[in-house]
């Protein structure tokens, strides 16, 4: 059995529609990489000419804003694919992807994926559904940025981080974003984010343990968000 058949990415992504022969073809043309924490998988404006399968680790997708700050658009977890939209539009990527922890990723060339796209209707539908889902998330983010206060967005983001990525044994959030990254995720200045975290801590909604964050009163955070 090929490694692609057993892979987490196949289980959770568009690749689940590929048959055994297609997965063997995929296994033969993919290249596997280890990406160290802080390293880019690709950068905004790059022609990536394929898709990346996230086998292990988490990365952030960012967009450089007019003021030179990185806005975090999405966090990507194991089992997801990167680059599907750029692959179909045949355009440079409009986001950067940077590892938040050590990662295992595989790269599959565009030519091979487009071959599956042309021959396997279920696969092409899955890719389209994924892209539609990304667009829906982008719409939700835009509305959230426009209509919610920074305080509401911080509460919402902390809940999202816990519910999506879980906690460590000490109950701190597993994904440890820097204060600057957290600010970039909620669309505010780092100083404002630090001030709000201190307020949340003082009110007993969260606990700050060094650079780590533990949620203490999720019900209150949900009410705020």
Q: Give domain limits for the chain.
A: 4-120, 147-224
The answer on pLDDT for 45 being more than 70 is: yes
Question: Residue 223 — pLDDT band, cuts 50, 70, 90?
Answer: very high
Query: What per-residue confidence (pLDDT) applies to 158?
Result: 95
- Across the range 13-38, mean pLDDT stands at 90
> Tokens 């999720």 belong to which residue?
218
- Across the range 30-49, mean pLDDT stands at 94
- Cα dist from 10 to 28, 87, 100, 215, whole Å: 15, 18, 22, 33
Average pLDDT over all residues of the chain? 90
Least confident range of 36-45, 53-62, 124-133: 124-133
Q: Please indicate, yes or no, whether the overall pTM of this predicted structure exceeds 0.75.
A: yes
Cα 220 versus chain centre, distance = 26
Tens digits of per-residue pLDDT, 127-153?
888 888 888 888 887 777 778 899 999
Most confident residue range from 6-10, 11-15, 16-20, 170-174: 170-174
Which CATH topology does 4-120 take? Answer: Jelly Rolls (2.60.120)
Query: What per-residue confidence (pLDDT) applies to 200?
Result: 96
Tens digits of per-residue pLDDT, 167-219?
999 999 999 899 999 998 998 899 999 999 999 999 999 999 989 999 999 99
Query: What per-residue confidence (pLDDT) applies to 146?
Result: 76
Cβ neighbours of residue 111 closer than 8 Å, sequence gap 6 or more: none
Question: What is the architecture, at CATH level 2, of domain 147-224?
Answer: Orthogonal Bundle (1.10)
- Cα dist from 151 to 147, 178, 186, whole Å: 12, 17, 9
The answer on pLDDT for 1 being more than 70 is: no
Rounded to whole angstroms, how far apart are CA atoms 163 and 20? 34
Query: What per-residue confidence (pLDDT) applies to 2?
Result: 53
Strand order from edge to edge, sheet including 31-35: 31-35, 103-109, 50-56, 81-82
Question: Residue 87 — pLDDT band, cuts 50, 70, 90?
Answer: confident
Rounded to whole angstroms, how far apart are CA atoms 88 and 118? 11
Structure tokens belonging to residue 3:
């490694």
The answer on pLDDT for 61 being more than 90 is: yes
- Where are the extended beta strands (E) located within the chain? 31-35, 40-42, 50-56, 59-64, 70-76, 81-82, 96-99, 103-109, 206-209, 212-215
């Amino acid at each position: 059995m090929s490694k692609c058949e057993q892979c987490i990415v196949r289980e959770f992504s568009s690749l689940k529609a590929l048959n055994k022969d297609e997965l063997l073809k995929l296994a033969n043309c993919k290249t596997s990489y280890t990406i160290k924490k802080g390293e880019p998988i690709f950068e905004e404006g790059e022609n990536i000419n394929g898709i990346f399968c996230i086998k292990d680790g988490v990365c952030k997708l960012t967009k450089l804003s007019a003021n030179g700050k990185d806005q975090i658009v999405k966090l990507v977890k194991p089992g997801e694919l990167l680059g599907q939209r750029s692959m179909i539009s045949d355009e440079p990527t409009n986001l950067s992807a940077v590892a938040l922890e050590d990662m295992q990723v595989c790269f599959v060339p565009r030519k091979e994926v487009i071959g599956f796209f042309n021959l396997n209707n279920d696969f092409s539908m899955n890719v389209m559904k994924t892209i539609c889902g990304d667009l829906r998330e982008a719409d939700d983010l835009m509305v959230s940025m426009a209509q919610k206060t920074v305080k509401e967005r911080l509460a919402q983001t902390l809940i999202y981080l816990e519910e999506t990525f879980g906690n460590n044994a000490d109950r701190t959030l597993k994904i440890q974003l820097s204060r600057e990254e957290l600010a970039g995720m909620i669309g505010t200045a780092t100083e404002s984010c630090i001030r709000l975290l201190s307020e949340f801590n003082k009110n007993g909604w969260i606990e700050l343990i060094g650079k780590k964050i533990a949620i203490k009163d999720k019900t209150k955070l949900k009410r705020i968000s």
